[in-house]
Structure 1
């Protein structure tokens, strides 16, 4: 606790103007809300949420495609959060298909080995989970197994946010989990202050202090406040496995347009595991027609409590948008920890 007080005081001592930083990790948001960290920050320092939840940024068109796969008599296996994300015709949990919650891709493969039915794993996540999926495909899973690839890269989304300039950001707190795998060298392309931070309150306060210090000193670089887990180069073996199976592609994010090079698709030699091609299903763009403002929350230009639906029509028990579904979604986190706009 003494260290936290010291870091908090040091941060307060150097905040001399308005600052806005964005984190890109749902776990950061959960840590900030659970610890009440925003309530002890200097009033002119703000940390906003970005597209740091892979379930939240999965667009409706992908949910619709997953439901269509279930209608083709496929067993759908995926993470528990994803089955509640609404598409245009409801969510996976209420579609009437054979939907299984699994802890990872290996469990989906186990299901495929025990049945003659087709099993499709809806494979979401950032660079953190993609290597495990790639490693699984390299083990030659059974012919009745395939994946619907919904993986995304973080840096292209950051590039889009910086080009748009909607949130007037002074810098970024980089995602610690992602950087464990990828390292942080790819983020050095961005000419803004950036700090890789861990997930304890002290870690986050230290990250904010280092960001403000960079600005005060006229620097714009990537610093590592999470050296116990993150290196500049990352996990080279995991990266190599991911690159062996996947290649970049252009893909839409919920709340964003199509972002070039921000998605992953299977390389030609692994396309036999591509569920969309195997069953002739297409992911279609869906225009927004709801009062939900998850799109703005994911871009850091609105807080959950700015939404007219928050806590009324949209609750963790009856979510309207994906940010109220996922444990890493800002709206659900704010609802669970009774966060209010500061």
Structure 2
């Protein structure tokens, strides 16, 4: 596609790399928040081509990876009920729960369906009035409008057999949590362009000002990421801490007000547990009282015993940017995409999967 090839031009990439090398004068650590950006960095070999002064730190921007273990266990429990059809995006199926994954529950007879849109789940609920249809609604602000819209549609259709198991996490509180972590040393951030397409840039200004860090809203193609890195380095070298928008072809300052209106009609912010990281204040979306009948957590009385994380998995350290995937002793050995012990090895946005598939460091 011509549109995509414009942002993958190797000659332009070389020019950006040369400009980064000319600009940087001291060591800087930059966190790309989104897993899509991580994959672009690793897949295209950008990390190896950057000057030694620039260290890219991989952030917690993988909603599948940070979905709480207990919630995955709840989804598996629901999927094993005879009267339940559990619907989900494909990435969630292989994420390990405390005892099994949704894929294993499906193999054992659970009615689990992979969908591309939650609106498909509403249609399934219409077609199966004697079944409870639950959509496992996972994602950042990006997927929140579609998940909220499914609730609105089900409400309008007066469907009593549809609900969502919501695990929405929010990016700005996660950035603040990373900054406040004593072990994390980040000089600047590449913010997730798709999130800002929905929410706009306003939430990042107080973060940049309070913590004196540059934040550049960035896309996902190689040239997007390289330009975003250059913009952050220029700020750091000039002792600036601004919010800039590299992804201006998509992101507007105010975001998408219509999508925001849908989100805020259905959801409200709440404290959220991030798998491998812990609870982050006001970092998730919960369903408002108005739509409580469509909240699977409230609809089904499920008591799941808190299970410990796999002690061999260091995904929390990886998602906070403290460790790289190849620093895990299980990476590429006990933990592989075919037999993952942690979510970052499963998801298409997981840092461990990116390194496994595209990096030459697998033997480290």
Normalising by the smaller structure, the TM-score range is: over 0.9
Match of 1:243 in 2: 264
Superposition RMSD on alpha carbons, in Å? 1.5
Distance 1:338 1:134 in 2: 37
Distance 1:89 1:195 in 2: 40
Deviations 1:307-329 (A, max 9, x none): 11111111111111100111111
Distance 1:215 1:282 in 2: 49
Q: Report how far residue 136 of structure 1 moved.
A: 1.9
Distance 2:89 2:296 in 1: 17
Deviations 1:207-236 (A, max 9, x none): 111111111111101001110001111001
Distance 2:195 2:303 in 1: 29
Structure 1: tracts of 5 or more residues without a match? none
Equivalent residue in structure 1 for 2:113, among 95, 100, 124: 100
Equivalent residue in structure 1 for 2:142, among 128, 135, 149: 128
Give the 5 Å matches for 1:1-342.
Answer: 1-73=10-82, 74-95=84-105, 96=108, 97-115=110-128, 116-139=130-153, 140=155, 141=157, 142-191=159-208, 192-282=213-303, 285-340=306-361
| Contact kept in structure 2, 1:255 and 1:299, CA below 8 Å | no
SS at match of 2:272: strand
Across the two proteins, how many residue pairs are aligned to each other?
342
Q: Report how far residue 167 of structure 1 moved.
A: 2.1
Q: Report how far residue 242 of structure 1 moved.
A: 0.2
TM-aligned CA distance change 1:284 to 1:221, over 3 Å = farther
SS at match of 2:30: strand
Structure 2: tracts of 5 or more residues without a match? 1-9
| Contact kept in structure 2, 1:21 and 1:47, CA below 8 Å | yes
Distance 1:287 1:318 in 2: 19
Distance 1:26 1:208 in 2: 16
Q: TM-score, normalised by structure 1?
A: 0.97
TM-aligned CA distance change 1:308 to 1:44, over 3 Å = same
TM-aligned CA distance change 1:334 to 1:231, over 3 Å = same
Q: Report how far residue 67 of structure 1 moved.
A: 1.3
SS at match of 1:50: strand
Distance 1:282 1:16 in 2: 55
Distance 2:335 2:178 in 1: 27
Distance 2:303 2:111 in 1: 20
Deviations 1:77-124 (A, max 9, x none): 101110111111111111232111111201111211221211110100
| Contact kept in structure 2, 1:276 and 1:282, CA below 8 Å | no
| Contact kept in structure 2, 1:62 and 1:284, CA below 8 Å | no
SS at match of 2:270: strand
Q: TM-score, normalised by structure 2?
A: 0.91
| Contact kept in structure 1, 2:135 and 2:164, CA below 8 Å | yes
